[in-house]
């Protein structure tokens, strides 16, 4: 049984969506922040005279902190009030945004980003756990669908919003815009949200906290450091994986686990979780590469880059909404396989693009990818969570959210390595065009995105259901 649910207060609210709105907006900003900065990386690199590998830490460092904080979600709900947690999560993100917006050097900017990660790590799991307490069973599916829509739509629309801001202002405006959304979220929270978790203040498992922090930290660090110092990166990865194994074993034998990893013994949940993580890796790697490819490879202005990515973002939102409804009728088997297959096609189109490709071609490729990704995401996640009972589902959701961030950071790190490798290969073979070098690097990166999509398509054949289920209560 999930420790979250055992310590929860059954709460009936007249307007549950208003109560959840503050957390939804906060989660939207957190996920928006994962990709909105990608389009500004070239500008930031010029402003602080840094390389791609260094700038990439603004993405992986952010997700690293989220991955460290997320496993603590259950513990935090037992030690602090719901309103207090949400309030802290929103305001710590605001503090990080202010620091980043005023950054005088890269170190200050990175520090602000990592502080933002604390806020997202707190808010993200609360979207799901609060929804599970304030919505009745017959309306819970729709509420979780809205939360899933936030997670999928925000990263897709992030580059567009950032591009529009960069067209008239500087990259600092992106961070100031976060603050506007977060203040609105805070006002909704203060007016509508009630405390839904019982504060029991159990004994803190400091060993579990240390193990999770070390394991996730070293894994993401190792991936991000591969392009700079291979031996150090491999050592970090190996040690991180060892600590992760120790952490999982420790949690399986704990009386009150921070995360109940026993849910991974349920084959349907394990399959659904793997598919969700692969799908998230496709999203983060593509959304990391595409804005920079448009600017540095195809020479498109930053404002136009955002406009080019807008149709795909809209299609992503519509598909996410429709995919949730389609699951109830036809199940996850067809949806997941078709979604990954379409993602393969979109990835191949990007690999085949070149300096002569039209804007229309790029938009179509992006739209195809943005149809495939959400088509696989929502059914896969619902398929996995529906295999768990009411109490396990909170732990299942926390595990998926935690490893999503790790996979996202890893996918971004690998995409960065391949991007740099492709550029270096072009120059080593006598190339002199920086645009063509970046194009080749982007092709290397999109090949990784394609491999993920193919892997997801193959694993999707383990999905055996023929119709949608209802979450068990």
**Residue range 134-193, pLDDT digits in tens:** 776 556 556 666 776 777 677 767 777 887 787 778 889 889 999 999 999 999 888 887
Is pLDDT larger for residue 174 or for residue 399?
174
Q: Across 194-203, 242-251, 309-318, 445-454, which has the greatest mean pLDDT?
A: 445-454
Q: What whole-number percentage of the chain has pLDDT above 70?
A: 88
The β-bridge partners of 6 are none
Question: Which whole number is the average pLDDT over 405-412?
Answer: 77
* Confidence band of 22 (pLDDT split at 50, 70, 90): confident
pLDDT at 263 over 70: yes
Domain boundaries, the chain: 14-202+256-462, 203-255
Residues 6+ apart with CB under 8 A from 148: 320, 324, 377, 378, 381
Nearest to 4 by CA among 401, 358, 332: 401
pLDDT at 28 over 80: yes
Rounded alpha-carbon distances, angstroms, from residue 37 to 29, 31, 101: 12, 11, 12
pLDDT at 33 over 70: yes
pLDDT of residue 390: 56
pTM listed for this prediction: 0.76
pLDDT of residue 324: 67
End-to-end CA distance of the chain: 12
pLDDT digits (tens, 9 = 90+) for 410-425: 787 788 888 888 888 8
Is pLDDT larger for residue 395 or for residue 414?
414
pLDDT of residue 392: 64
- The domain covering 14-202+256-462 belongs, at the CATH homologous superfamily level, to MFS general substrate transporter like domains (1.20.1250.20)
Measure the CA–CA gap between 147 and 158, rounded to whole angstroms.
17
Question: Which whole number is the average pLDDT over 120-141?
Answer: 73
Residue 197: phi, psi to the nearest 5?
Answer: -120, 140
Is pLDDT larger for residue 471 or for residue 58?
58
pLDDT of residue 295: 80
pLDDT of residue 184: 93
Q: What whole-number percentage of the chain has pLDDT above 90?
A: 20
Of 96-105, 129-138, 306-315, 414-423, the range with the lowest mean pLDDT is 129-138
Is pLDDT larger for residue 198 or for residue 241?
241
pLDDT digits (tens, 9 = 90+) for 3-13: 334 444 445 66
Question: Which whole number is the average pLDDT over 32-36?
Answer: 78
pLDDT at 296 over 70: yes
Question: Which whole number is the average pLDDT over 19-35?
Answer: 83
pLDDT of residue 140: 58
- Compute how many other C-beta atoms are within 10 angstroms of the C-beta atom of residue 303: 15
Of 45-59, 141-155, 439-453, the range with the lowest mean pLDDT is 141-155
pLDDT at 1 over 50: no
Is pLDDT larger for residue 336 or for residue 4?
336
Mean pLDDT of the chain: 81
């Amino acid at each position: 049984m999930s420790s979250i649910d055992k310590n929860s207060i059954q709460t009936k609210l007249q307007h549950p969506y208003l109560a959840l709105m503050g957390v939804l907006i906060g989660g939207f900003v957190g996920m928006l922040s994962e990709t909105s900065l990608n389009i500004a990386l070239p500008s930031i690199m010029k402003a602080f005279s840094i390389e791609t590998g260094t700038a990439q830490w603004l993405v992986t460092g952010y997700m690293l902190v989220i991955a460290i904080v997320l496993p603590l979600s259950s513990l935090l709900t037992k030690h602090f009030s719901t309103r207090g947690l949400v309030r802290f999560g929103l305001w710590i993100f605001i503090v990080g945004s202010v620091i980043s917006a005023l950054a005088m050097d890269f170190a200050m900017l990175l520090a602000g980003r990592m502080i933002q990660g604390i806020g997202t790590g707190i808010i993200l799991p609360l979207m799901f756990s609060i929804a599970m307490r304030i919505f009745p069973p017959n309306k819970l599916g729709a509420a979780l669908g809205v939360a899933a829509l936030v997670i999928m739509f925000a990263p897709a629309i992030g580059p567009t919003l950032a591009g529009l801001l960069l067209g008239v202002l500087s990259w600092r405006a992106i961070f100031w815009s976060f603050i506007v959304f977060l203040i609105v979220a805070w006002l909704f929270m203060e007016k509508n949200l009630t405390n839904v978790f019982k504060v029991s203040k159990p004994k803190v498992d400091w060993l579990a906290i240390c193990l999770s922090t070390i394991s996730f930290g070293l894994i993401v660090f190792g991936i991000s450091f591969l392009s700079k110092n291979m031996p150090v990166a491999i050592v970090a990865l190996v040690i991180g994986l060892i600590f992760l194994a120790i952490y999982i074993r420790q949690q399986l034998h704990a009386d009150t686990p921070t995360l109940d990893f026993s849910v991974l013994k349920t084959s349907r949940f394990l399959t659904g979780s793997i598919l969700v993580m692969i799908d998230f890796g496709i999203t983060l790697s593509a959304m990391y590469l595409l804005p920079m490819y448009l600017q540095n490879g195809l020479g498109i202005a930053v404002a136009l880059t955002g406009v080019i990515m807008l149709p795909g973002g809209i299609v992503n939102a519509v598909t996410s909404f429709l995919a949730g409804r389609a699951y109830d009728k036809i199940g996850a088997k067809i949806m997941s396989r078709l979604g990954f297959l379409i993602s393969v096609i979109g990835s191949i189109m990007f690999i085949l693009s070149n300096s002569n490709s039209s804007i229309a071609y790029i938009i179509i490729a992006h739209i195809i990818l943005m149809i495939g990704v959400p088509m696989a995401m929502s059914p896969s996640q619902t398929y996995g969570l529906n295999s768990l009972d009411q109490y396990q589902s909170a732990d299942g959701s926390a595990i998926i959210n935690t490893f999503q961030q790790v996979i996202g950071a890893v996918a971004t790190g690998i995409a960065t390595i391949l991007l740099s490798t492709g550029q270096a290969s072009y120059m080593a073979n006598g190339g002199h065009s920086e645009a063509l070098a970046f194009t080749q690097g982007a092709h290397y990166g999109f090949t990784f995105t394609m491999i993920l999509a193919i892997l997801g398509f193959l694993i999707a054949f383990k999905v055996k259901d023929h119709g949608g289920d209802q979450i068990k209560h």
